[in-house]
Structure 1
Amino acid sequence: MRVILTGGSGFLGQALTRRLLAQGAQVAWLSHRPAAVGQGAPAGVSVRGYADLQPDEAWDAVVNLAGAPIADRRWSDARKQLLLDSRLHPTQALLDWLLVARRKPRVLLSGSATGWYGNQGDAVLDEDSGFHDEFAHQLCARWERLAWRAQMDAGVPVVLLRTGVVLHPSGGMLARLSLPFRLGLGGRLGSGTQYMSWIALDDWVRAVGWLLQAHLGGSVGKAWSGPVNLTALQPVTNAEFTRAYAASLKRPAVLAVPAPVLRWGLGEMATLLLDGQRVVPRRLEAAGFSFRHATLEQALRQTE
């Protein structure tokens, strides 16, 4: 299996790369800074610039994960533009190559997020649900529309990975929360009733590999296109997550951060913390994908 990957140096990209290499796949990372990124790439991974892609190259699959982190800082106008550009520019570069490639990859798995659905309270949302129009939706929707052109214009099946909050102590949200919770300073955000759709890192990597195999001749059944929710079966509220994470660290979590304080400190970005989506992985579940970390408590016990 030959896989080309954007965003390979990120939290998700590194985890997926490790799994692919362990399975004997040939992996290449694409980057706008190949010299710098190449210094930290695992052995066996080639790192190239987008402009290096040639029409006569043959890759079995493309996984497109490039994009600046959405929750790292306030959403100024400049930050919003960066979030958009960091997703659209790599995707456009891939599309340009796919349009002229003489041997098309068999699938493009392209990143997205459960933010596509926007804030819809406690409504249960699957891949057929609609959306609430807000910045997170607009960001995901523009990214998805551009990626979808690979199927419409280049004939390459596209799977849109609507990923929830990915949990593992080595990175992502848990890495940011570890210190305050270990100091006993963790607490619910706002009312704590907002839902969080999460997935264990191991299950996210396994699900992506499962989707790849569906297109590359594996035994998992029909190849898909369109959106797939990469979330666990049981979304939790912020209050439930706070209690479970504190308990996993054997620390108290009695504090609360009032919603007005978050809005004052984070501006519009506070919606990521105070609003939520109750998203379920209907397509994965219906197709028989098996989650190893079905409960939040199991996910919080991950060490590998």
Structure 2
Amino acid sequence: MRVVITGGTGFIGTILTEKLKEKGHEVVIFTRKPSSKHNGVHYVQWLTDHAAPENEVGRVDAFVNLAGVSIDDGRWSEERKKQIYDSRITATQEVLRIIRTLPEKPRVLVNASAIGIYPTSLTAEYTEDSTAVGDDFLAKTVHDWEELAGQSNEMGVRTVYTRFGIVLGKDGGALPLIKLPYQLFAGGKIGSGNQWFSWVHVEDLANAILFLIENDDVEGPVNVVAPSPMHMNAFGKTIGKVLHRPHWFPVPSFAMKAALGEKSIVVLQGQHVLPEKLLANGFIFSYPSLRPALENLLK
């Protein structure tokens, strides 16, 4: 298949690109700064003045829309929140515009999303059948993002919303920041420690996207999380064991709020999310449990 990726030069997109190439798929990356190093990938300029990617892309079998400003970098000032929101909406609007111009529509649009759409809770359990939506900034952003991407359904395109959990990778995602206190012998409970931590190894995330591209029977929201979410305190203890570091230095909620501001909701509150749809359709996780995942990433 010929797969177009937006955000393909980022942390997740880079890993996904390699997996697609390994499976023999042709990869096209839409980017503001096309690379001169092709490495078997075709780069097409987009979201710049005079860019017309629809004139260069040719046939498209699948779109994967990963574009958007990272929620991990910096505090969530009003300006930063606007960048996070607008970058996702603008990129998705452009994807939809390009799809409309194509005489032959792609078979599928896999649009990035996040479990942040669900309300934070210590007791609720969320699957893809859950309709509750949170009332915070992240939930609103994800909700509006999915609503917009859903317009591709009107063009006959199978649409999948991949609700990513907290992504763990060696050089990206949440793990580098989370492991740092343990490396400094200062790791410990964050906040109450009872908040849920629904995580996913980046390799499983990329494999899940590939699975969803190739599996015509799946559409709508898909929770891309490992099947074994944990409480934050248990998660921290596992990191300590893998790194052979103590889990002893608590970080109170007020300190996290002072350091991170509104963004502290990501670590102080959480959701218990399960990948029901992936499991029901036969997806097999390489890292369903936390300790093997961390041993792979940290050793």
TM tier, smaller: over 0.9
Are residue 7 (structure 1) and residue 7 (structure 2) matched?
A: yes
Aligned counterpart for 1:139 among listed residues 138, 141, 148 = 141
SS of structure 2 residue aligned to 1:248? helix
Q: Match of 1:220?
A: none
Q: Match of 1:121?
A: 122
- Deviations for 1:251-297, whole angstroms, at most 9, x for unmatched residues? 11211111011112221111111110000011111222211211101
**TM-score, with structure 2 as normaliser:** 0.93
Give the Å deviation of 1:229. Answer: 0.3
Q: Match of 2:242?
A: 248
Are residue 93 (structure 1) and residue 87 (structure 2) matched?
A: no
SS of structure 2 residue aligned to 1:127? coil
Q: Determine if contact 1:57/1:103 at 8 Å carries over to the other structure.
A: no
Aligned counterpart for 1:46 among listed residues 39, 42, 45 = 42
Q: Match of 1:294?
A: 288
Aligned counterpart for 2:232 among listed residues 238, 241, 247 = 238
| 1:191-270 correspondence to structure 2 within 5 Å | 191-215=192-216, 223-270=217-264
Partners in 1 of 2:267 and 2:44 — Cα distance? 36
Deviates more, 1:86-95 or 1:45-54: 45-54
Q: Which amino acid aligns with 2:60?
A: W
Partners in 2 of 1:193 and 1:120 — Cα distance? 10
Q: Match of 1:219?
A: none
Between the aligned residues of both structures, percent identity stands at 37
Q: Determine if contact 2:179/2:239 at 8 Å carries over to the other structure.
A: no
Deviates more, 1:264-273 or 1:60-69: 264-273
Partners in 2 of 1:177 and 1:224 — Cα distance? 33
Partners in 2 of 1:102 and 1:53 — Cα distance? 14
Q: Match of 2:26?
A: 26
SS of structure 1 residue aligned to 2:218? coil
Cα separation, partners in 2 of 1:179 and 1:267, compared to 1, 3 Å: closer
Partners in 2 of 1:122 and 1:184 — Cα distance? 31
Partners in 1 of 2:227 and 2:180 — Cα distance? 28
- Deviations for 1:25-46, whole angstroms, at most 9, x for unmatched residues? 1111112x224xx25x661112
Q: Determine if contact 2:166/2:198 at 8 Å carries over to the other structure.
A: yes
- Deviations for 1:44-97, whole angstroms, at most 9, x for unmatched residues? 112212233226821110000011111221111111100011111111111001
SS of structure 2 residue aligned to 1:27? strand
Partners in 1 of 2:189 and 2:27 — Cα distance? 40
RMSD: 1.6
- Deviations for 1:176-235, whole angstroms, at most 9, x for unmatched residues? 2333321212222101100011111121111111111113xxxxxxx2211000011111
